C-alpha cells in the first residue's frame, strides 16, 4: 500500500483580499538542462515567458511540463511563489532507470496564501509505471478554514476529440474514471473545488463522452461548468513544414487546457473573468516559447 504524506503548511493568512486569480499554463518541456529541441531556450525566450507571467498576475498557477524548480523560476518569480511539484518528480528522479521523464505537474502558490497539501492523485498513473502524471491537490484556506480545493492535472495525450472506443483513448478513459472518483468525493465535502490543467481533450460541448462521465449528476445535484464557456482559443504556435522547409503559424480554436468548476465555485467566479493570455505573433515565430497559452479566472471570496 502506498503511503501519502499530508502536509500542513503554516504560512500567513490570505493576502489577496477579496479576489483570487487562478490560472493554468503548460510550459512545454520547460527544462533548462535538456537537449530536447522543445527545451532549448535562450535568455530572450525565458524573458518573454517571464513577462507573460507578470501579465498573468495569478495567485495560483497550475503548471505542466516543468522539469524542476530551477527551470520554473526562470519564468515565475521565486520570491513571489511557493512551488509545489507532484511527488512523482522525486520518485522518477530517484529511480535507477536510464529513462528520465521531465514533465511534471504542480502548483505555484503566491506566498502569503495559506493552504494544505493533500495527497497527490496518483491513480491518474493508470499504468502504474510513473510515466503518466499525478494530479497535485491543495486546499486553500482563509482564516484557517477551507475556502476552495484545487487540483492540477495533465492527462494522457492522443485522444483530443475521438470517440472513447478509439485506440488512442483507452488510457485517457481510464484516467477519466479516476478523476470522476475524485470529483465525486469532493462533491460530498461541501467545499467549492476546481480541476484545471492540460486535459489533452477538446471539451467542445457538454455532450462529449469525457464531459458526461465527470458531470454525471452523481452525487445528486452535483454540476460542473467550464470556465471558458463558448470562448474559442486564440493561442498561436509555430509548426515546421518539412516539404517547404519553413515555419508557419497555426491555431487550434478548441481548448485542451481547461478550468472546470463545481456549482459552488462557479458562483464565486467573477462574471466574464475568464481570459487567455497570448504571446505576440512575432515572438511566436522568432522565439521558442510554449505551444500553450495560459488561461485564468478570478474568484470573489
Task: Please enumerate in sequence order all residues whose Cβ is within 8 A of that of 280, keeping only pairs 6 or more positions apart, or say none.
Answer: none
| 101 has a pLDDT exceeding 80 | no
Confirm if 41 and 288 have CB atoms less than 8 A apart.
yes
Helices marked H in the chain: 43-56, 69-72, 87-94, 170-187, 209-214, 263-268, 281-286
Lowest mean pLDDT among 103-112, 122-131, 200-209, 214-223: 200-209
Dihedral in degrees, nearest 10, Cα atoms 147, 194, 140, 221? 30
Cell numbers 503511503 label which residue?
3
Confirm if 126 and 140 have CB atoms less than 8 A apart.
no
Q: pLDDT value at position 245?
A: 80
> What pTM does this model have?
0.92
Q: pLDDT value at position 286?
A: 95
d(CA 64, CA 133): 9
Q: pLDDT value at position 41?
A: 97
* Range 51-60 burial, b when 16+ CB lie within 10 A, else e: ebbeebebbb
Residue 166 carries which DSSP code? S
Bridge partners of 224, per DSSP, are: 262
Confidence of residue 240 (pLDDT cuts 50, 70, 90): confident
For residue 61 the three cell numbers come to 498557477
3-state SS class at 299: strand
| 139 has a pLDDT exceeding 50 | yes
d(CA 117, CA 221): 28
Confirm if 134 and 44 have CB atoms less than 8 A apart.
no
Between 246 and 155, the higher pLDDT residue: 155
Confidence of residue 10 (pLDDT cuts 50, 70, 90): very low
Q: pLDDT value at position 94?
A: 85
Q: pLDDT value at position 172?
A: 97
Per-residue model confidence as pLDDT tens digits over 179-235: 999 999 999 999 999 999 999 999 866 679 999 999 998 888 889 999 999 999 999
Confirm if 9 and 140 have CB atoms less than 8 A apart.
no
| 28 has a pLDDT exceeding 70 | yes
Per-residue model confidence as pLDDT tens digits over 70-80: 999 999 999 99
Q: How far apart are the first and last CA of the chain?
A: 38
Per-residue model confidence as pLDDT tens digits over 46-65: 999 999 999 999 999 999 99
3-state SS class at 182: helix
E strands within the chain? 7-9, 19-30, 60-66, 81-85, 104-110, 114-117, 136-142, 145-154, 193-198, 224-226, 236-241, 246-251, 257-262, 275-276, 295-300
The overall average pLDDT reported for the chain is 91
For residue 286 the three cell numbers come to 522568432
Per-residue model confidence as pLDDT tens digits over 147-187: 999 999 999 999 999 999 998 899 999 999 999 999 999 99
Looking at the chain, the whole-number percentage of residues with pLDDT higher than 90 is: 79
Dihedral in degrees, nearest 10, Cα atoms 159, 164, 169, 171? 130
Q: pLDDT value at position 239?
A: 87
Helices marked H in 57-127: 69-72, 87-94
Amino acid at each position: 500500500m502506498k503511503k501519502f504524506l499530508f502536509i500542513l503548511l503554516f504560512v500567513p493568512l490570505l493576502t489577496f483580499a477579496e479576489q483570487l486569480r487562478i490560472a493554468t499554463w503548460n510550459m512545454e518541456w520547460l527544462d533548462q538542462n535538456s537537449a530536447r529541441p522543445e527545451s532549448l531556450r535562450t535568455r530572450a525566450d525565458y524573458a518573454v515567458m517571464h513577462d507573460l507571467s507578470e501579465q498573468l498576475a495569478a495567485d495560483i498557477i497550475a503548471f505542466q511540463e516543468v522539469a524542476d524548480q530551477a527551470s520554473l523560476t526562470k519564468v515565475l518569480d521565486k520570491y513571489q511563489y511557493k512551488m509545489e511539484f507532484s511527488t512523482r518528480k522525486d520518485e522518477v528522479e530517484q529511480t535507477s532507470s536510464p529513462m528520465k521523464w521531465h514533465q511534471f505537474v504542480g502548483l505555484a502558490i503566491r506566498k502569503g496564501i495559506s493552504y494544505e497539501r493533500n495527497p497527490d492523485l496518483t491513480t491518474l498513473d493508470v499504468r502504474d509505471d510513473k510515466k503518466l502524471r499525478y494530479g497535485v491537490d491543495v486546499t486553500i484556506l482563509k482564516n484557517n478554514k477551507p475556502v476552495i480545493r484545487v487540483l492540477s492535472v495533465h492527462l494522457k495525450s492522443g485522444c483530443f476529440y475521438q470517440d472513447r472506443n478509439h485506440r488512442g483513448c483507452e488510457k485517457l478513459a481510464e484516467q477519466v474514471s479516476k478523476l470522476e472518483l475524485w470529483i465525486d468525493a469532493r462533491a460530498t465535502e461541501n467545499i467549492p473545488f476546481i480541476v484545471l490543467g492540460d486535459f489533452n481533450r477538446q471539451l467542445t460541448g457538454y455532450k462529449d463522452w469525457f464531459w458526461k462521465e465527470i458531470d454525471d449528476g452523481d452525487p445528486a445535484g452535483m454540476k460542473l461548468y467550464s470556465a471558458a464557456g463558448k470562448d474559442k482559443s486564440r493561442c498561436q504556435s509555430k509548426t515546421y513544414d518539412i516539404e517547404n522547409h519553413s515555419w508557419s503559424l497555426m491555431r487550434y480554436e478548441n481548448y485542451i487546457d481547461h478550468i472546470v468548476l463545481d456549482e459552488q465555485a462557479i458562483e464565486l467566479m467573477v462574471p466574464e473573468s475568464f481570459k487567455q493570455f497570448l504571446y505576440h505573433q512575432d515572438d511566436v515565430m522568432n522565439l521558442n516559447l510554449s505551444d500553450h497559452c495560459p488561461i485564468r479566472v478570478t474568484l470573489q471570496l
